[in-house]
Amino acid sequence: MAILVTGGAGYIGSHTAVALAESGHEVVLLDNFSNSNMNAVENIRSLIKSEVVFHEVDIRDRDALSMVFQAQIQLSSPISSVIHFAALKSVGESVMKPELYHDNNTGGTKTLLEVMSKFAVHKIVFSSSCTVYGEPDVVPVDENSPFKKAESPYGQTKQDCEGIIVEQASVIKDFSAALLRYFNPIGAHPSAVIGESPNGVPDNLIPFICQSVAGHRGPLTVFGTDYPTPDGSCVRDYLHVMDLADAHVLALENLVVGRCRSFNLGTGTGTSVLEVISSFKGATDLDVPHTLGERREGDITAIWADSSRAENELGWKAQRTISEALADAWRWQKTLT
């Protein structure tokens, strides 16, 4: 039986694919290369030393997606479950292109669930996000924290997709799902064979820092220095992508038939943007060129996780430090220069 990983050539998808293979699972990758490329697939293959199956497909294409499921049946290795990463993820871009985000993220998830149902595949691990909580009243947030108004169309799509999956679980009795609400993944595989390599200008903090330090970008802009935080910059919960990949494997292996369960994945510690800049210097002995700017639309002030449910039910806890993650991210960046 095979695990379909949508968005499998992307940042988190690629690391999870490797973790799955190392845990003995057969992996089938699917991606449309909207924010990745074939190099990522080849790098995954080199790490797991296997000709892993890959399909270049957009999850909104119902016919093409159905052909992937059918092809696996013909190979006598049918898809038994799905880990669903495929989505656009830029908060800033979502503000400018909300219709695109709703069509791709929400529409794509609907299509995926329809095709899964067609082939009687009723197990899914969904890549959700702490953005579902909006601007929280209290931190850290646990899974019972209420969904506030989404601060961006991207956040809205994550709320909507969770709702669609919960609805699917309510009508199919043997449907099982894990909704993984993760915080801010950073870092790279310690081998520096795979890492975060977005197309175009990075929207996420760490790849922009790395590209700026490498001289490929101008100075980093710190968006907002007047937030009600200790140093005025936004606070987030940064966790190593390898810890996050491990969590997906555990979530898949601990799916309970008939249950849809949400899990926060974070370190439980908030770190400000300015603290990240300082930590990067400590981890690499390199300065981060940066300027101070105005707040950015769609950003929340501060959020970090209470991940005790994941620890208690999945046996998962973040193991790696932010310094390790930043050092791994920089090691990966140096392979790109």
> Does residue 80 contact residue 121 with C-beta atoms inside 8 Å?
yes
Q: Helix 108-118 to helix 62-74 angle, to the nearest 10 degrees?
A: 40
- In the chain, where do the E strands start and end? 2-6, 26-31, 53-56, 79-84, 123-129, 176-182, 184-186, 220-223, 235-236, 238-240, 260-265, 271-272, 290-293
Q: Kindly report the backbone phi and psi dihedral angles of residue 177, in degrees, each rounded to the nearest multiple of 5, phi listed first.
A: -150, 145
> CA nearest 327: which of 228, 192, 193, 218?
192
At 72, which amino acid appears? Q
Among candidates 55, 10, 1, which has minimal Cα distance to 34? Answer: 10
Burial of 300 (0-12, 13-18, 19+ CB in 10 A): buried
Q: 154, 182, 227, 238: which one is catalytic?
A: 154
Residue 39 to residue 52: CA distance in whole angstroms: 13
238 carries an active-site annotation: no
Tell me the β-bridge partners of 222: 292
Whole-number Å distance between alpha carbons of 92 and 200: 14
C-alpha 307/C-alpha 189 separation (Å) is 23
What is the greatest pairwise CA distance in the chain?
58
Which residues are part of the catalytic machinery?
154
